[in-house]
């Protein structure tokens, strides 16, 4: 963040945010109030403010979307976000090694062990020893897990459409392309 790039100016502007007059310090802050407080705190530092705004807004959007989907889609099925992601990975890749599930889901192997135990106890997936190496574990959905994914994923996707409804179809495609570019940039060695 040190160094000024992409038309960034030191301090002051963080996407035009304005602090609400008379805001109580103990109250929840609006996005605009938060952005203004950040701009004031960082005033005088030479930073790439547009880059910071992108990353912070990605973080906020991801959190808001995750919370919405957990409450509206996953909670009625007693699923956590991490449990859902693990089910998704196993559903897509079918018979997959546990270590690859952890990598695809972006979680540690230790976290995966607990999630797999929970999902297995619910009858949604099974673990078995790899036929070529007893140290490796394969994971697959059960018929109940397959059925759950076929039932829940269309509802999940309908809520993905709700979340992205403020964007035009071409904006959705463009945003997806831009986010892929960010991920590809981080995947480079």
Span 78-189: which CATH code? 1.10.10.10
> pLDDT of 103-135, one tens digit each?
999 999 999 999 999 999 999 999 999 999 999
Residue 189 has pLDDT above 90, yes or no: no
The DSSP call for residue 94 is: S
The pLDDT of 88-93, averaged and rounded, is: 97
Pick from 11-20, 122-131, 151-160: least confident: 11-20
**Numbered ranges of CATH 1.10.10.10 in the chain:** 78-189
pLDDT at 172: 97
pLDDT at 38: 83
Question: How much is the pTM?
Answer: 0.78
| Strand intervals (E) in the chain | 96-97, 125-130, 133-141
Rounded to whole angstroms, how far apart are CA atoms 153 and 69? 11
Residue 9 has pLDDT above 50, yes or no: no
Residue spans of alpha helices (H) in 14-108: 31-41, 49-69, 81-93, 98-105
The pLDDT of 56-74, averaged and rounded, is: 95
Confidence of residue 7 (pLDDT cuts 50, 70, 90): very low
Strand order through the sheet with 133-141: 96-97, 133-141, 125-130
Phi, psi for residue 136 in degrees, rounded to 5: -100, 150
Q: Higher model confidence: residue 6 or residue 30?
A: 30
pLDDT at 26: 64
Whether the CA torsion 34, 38, 43, 48 is positive or negative: it is: negative
């Amino acid at each position: 963040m040190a160094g000024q790039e992409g038309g960034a100016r030191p301090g002051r502007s963080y996407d035009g945010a304005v602090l609400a007059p008379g805001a109580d310090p103990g109250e929840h802050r609006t996005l605009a109030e938060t952005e203004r407080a950040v701009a004031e705190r960082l005033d005088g530092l030479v930073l790439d403010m547009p880059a910071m705004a992108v990353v912070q807004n990605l973080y906020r959007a991801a959190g808001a979307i995750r919370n919405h989907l957990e409450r509206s889609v996953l909670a009625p099925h007693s699923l956590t976000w991490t449990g859902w992601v693990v089910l998704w990975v196993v559903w897509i890749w079918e018979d997959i090694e546990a270590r690859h599930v952890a990598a695809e889901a972006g979680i540690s192997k230790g976290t995966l062990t607990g999630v797999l135990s929970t999902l297995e106890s619910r009858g949604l997936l099974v673990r078995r020893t790899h036929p070529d190496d007893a140290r490796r574990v394969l994971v697959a959905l059960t018929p109940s897990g397959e059925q759950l994914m076929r039932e829940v994923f269309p509802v999940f996707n309908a809520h993905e459409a709700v979340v992205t409804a403020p964007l035009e179809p071409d904006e959705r495609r463009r945003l997806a392309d831009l986010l892929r570019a960010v991920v590809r940039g981080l995947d480079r060695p």
